[in-house]
Amino acid sequence: MNITIRQLQCFREVMRTGSISEAARTLQRTQPAVSNMIATLEEELGVELFERQRGRLIRKPEAHYFLEEAEHILNRLNKTSRTMKEIAGLEQGRLRIACMPAAANYLMPRLVADFVRDKPKVNVSMMMRASSVIEGWVTSQQYDVGLAETPPPNRALTAQTFELQCVCALRKDDELANKEFLTPQDLSESPLATLEEDHPNYQSTLSAFKTTGAKFTPRFELRNFQPALKLVEEGLCYCICDPMTASGYLDRFDDNAKLTFRRFTPDILLSVSVLTPAHRPASVLASRFTSILAEEIERMNEQFK
């Protein structure tokens, strides 16, 4: 069976008007074209839908039954067409995002809020997990976008990678806050909040202190930098953290922030990547949000230089 949308539209209009000529006028088609559409539709269905009596069309019971089916099909197509236009216009759809802890509390919620503010039909799943978990989720196409510490090369992933320059968190009333940037010598023997010993950030920080002869004094070992900032607020330590954590803190507290952040030299870098599935085309929503996320990470990295 090869019934076309045009045949259904012509049939519906003929049923509505009861006239080939009126249907042709409404559809802006020629009368022979509409007549041919009805004839070929009847041929495809194997049943007469109309009786022709003295130039008039008499609707048969089969026509009334088929009208209900045709209306259902056309209405469903119209709804689907509107939905697809909304999706193309970023007005509808579902976005699945996985992100590392450094971005989960402030950066990602802020970006998502701005993105969906004028899109009430867009639903978002946003989950915080360790970077290794995020890599697996995006690789298996369970999530559209992931923000994680840069994983090893993986053919199933497309990675947009950023080298973030870490900054030093300290209280605003600290004497070191008067300096434009800080060095290991400035923090020599000072207590630090750090990540776990096997984390690349810890190793890079340790190396920077050893290279310059400064004494490295880790006091608090944490899984991420968010709780470290509270310890810095209490005057218990300093923290050399990623700019996502720093930017999120400043966004949250603004003028009431107790902490400030200074560039740290030599550079201590944290490599992060925006991850998307390599073997599945991104949706319009995911593609647009991925671009916004990448732009924000670039902006944020420049904020503390």
What's the pLDDT score for residue 186? 97
What's the pLDDT score for residue 78? 78
Residues 191 and 133 in one domain: no
* Residue that terminates a domain, selected from 40, 67, 88: 88
What's the pLDDT score for residue 92? 65
Instruction: Report yes or no: 168 and 304 within 8 Å, Cβ to Cβ.
Output: no
Residues 222 and 181 in one domain: yes
Q: What is the pTM of this model?
A: 0.70
Below-70 pLDDT ranges, the chain? 1, 55, 80-92
Residues 155 and 184 in one domain: no
What's the pLDDT score for residue 91? 56
What's the pLDDT score for residue 85? 61
Cα–Cα dist 250/238, whole Å: 16
Residues 131 and 277 in one domain: yes
Residues 144 and 190 in one domain: no
Residues 104 and 240 in one domain: no
* Residue that terminates a domain, selected from 58, 88, 118: 88
Residue 257, domain extent: 167-267
Instruction: Report yes or no: 210 and 216 within 8 Å, Cβ to Cβ.
Output: yes
**Integer CA distances (angstroms), 120 to 90, 92, 110, 167, in order:** 10, 8, 16, 37
Residues 145 and 279 in one domain: yes
The closest alpha carbon to 28, from 48, 49, 13, belongs to 13
Residues 173 and 263 in one domain: yes
CATH number where 108 lies: 3.40.190.10
Identify the bridge partners of residue 83 per DSSP, sorted by sequence position. Answer: none
What's the pLDDT score for residue 37? 87
What's the pLDDT score for residue 82? 64
Residues 98 and 155 in one domain: yes
* Residue that terminates a domain, selected from 64, 88, 112: 88
Q: Which residue carries 């990678």 as its tokens?
A: 161
CATH number where 63 lies: 1.10.10.10
- Report cis status (omega within 30 of 0) of the bond before 151: no
Residues 258 and 289 in one domain: no
Residues 84 and 117 in one domain: no
Residues 185 and 142 in one domain: no
What's the pLDDT score for residue 51? 85
Instruction: Report yes or no: 266 and 165 within 8 Å, Cβ to Cβ.
Output: no
Count of the separate structural domains present in the chain: 3
